[in-house]
Amino acid sequence: MSEMSRKEETKNNLLDAFWELYKEKPLTKITVKEITDKAGYNRGTFYTYFVDINEALEILKASLMPDKDMIINPFIELKDNDGKIIEPIEGTNDYLKKNGEKIAVLLGPKGDPGFVHELKARLRQIIINYAEDLEIKEVEDFEYVIEYHIAGLISMYQLWLEKKQNIDEESLGLVYEKTAYDGALSVINHMLNDTK
């Protein structure tokens, strides 16, 4: 572990305690006293670091936001003009390894819609910037396709976590690829017609 001032340490302890509670119950039921009790501080101390509980959550969310330079790859496989998949950006996997559990909670049914919203907006922006470099024409339309795909992907991943990984990662990957490249409705119709 790296050096840490007392200030930083206390703040982290408070955030950790808050997170433990956040995993268990809705924001409305969490009190400052609970947080500080759990972290082992006086209630007043909380207010030297945060103006209220909401701010604590905002700080947590911000710390989980990916940098601009990360994360493209697990969400979308961009290909260049020759059809070659653009290489994943370094650090993405570390990011997910470190924050995956928390992110899963925020994406889940007790999670935070603001987080999901911001996350999607960022990913969209990253991809759109890339597209603008290529002087793409139908930018508005493009944005909607991206949105559809990002949301679908996040949600698929979230469902997988919720179902306790009931299928293995490879299978999920295959389903994902088929869906994303052939079209969800095509795949569905195909599956339906296979039955007869």
| Positions in the binding site for DNA (CB under 7 A) | 6-7, 9-10, 31-33, 36, 40-45, 47-48, 51-53
For DNA, the closer CB: 20 or 67: 20
- Residues with Cβ within 8 Å of 65's Cβ and at least 6 positions away in sequence, in order, are 118, 119, 122
User: Which of 126, 110, 137 is CA-nearest to residue 118?
Assistant: 126
Comparing CB distances to DNA, the nearer of 48 and 165 is 48
Any alpha helices (H) in the chain, and if so which ranges?
6-24, 32-39, 43-49, 53-64, 72-75, 92-107, 113-133, 139-162, 169-182, 184-193
* Exposure string over 144-183, b if 16+ CB within 10 A, otherwise e: eebeebbeebbeebbebeeeeeeeeeeebeeebeebbeee
Binding to a copy of itself in span 34-53, by CB under 8 A:
53
Cβ distance to DNA smaller for residue 13 or 92: 13
176 is a site residue for a copy of itself (CB under 8 A)? yes
Number of residues that bind a copy of itself (CB under 8 A): 71
Separation of first and last alpha carbons in the chain: 60
Contact flags string 104-143 toward a copy of itself, x per CB under 8 A: ----xxxxxxx-xxx-x----------x--xxxxx-xxxx
Q: Is residue 21 close enough to count as binding a copy of itself by CB under 8 A?
A: no
CA distance 110 to 120: 18
Q: How far apart are CB 40 and DNA at their closest, in Å? A: 6
Min separation Cβ 188 and DNA, Å: 44
Task: Using the rule CB under 8 A, give the single segment among 7-15, 25-33, 40-48, 87-95 that binds a copy of itself.
Answer: 25-33
Residues 61-100 that bind a copy of itself (CB under 8 A): 76-79, 81, 83
Shortest distance in whole angstroms from residue 177 CB to a copy of itself: 8
- CB 41, CB 14: distance < 8 Å: yes
By the rule CB under 8 A, 58 interacts with a copy of itself = no
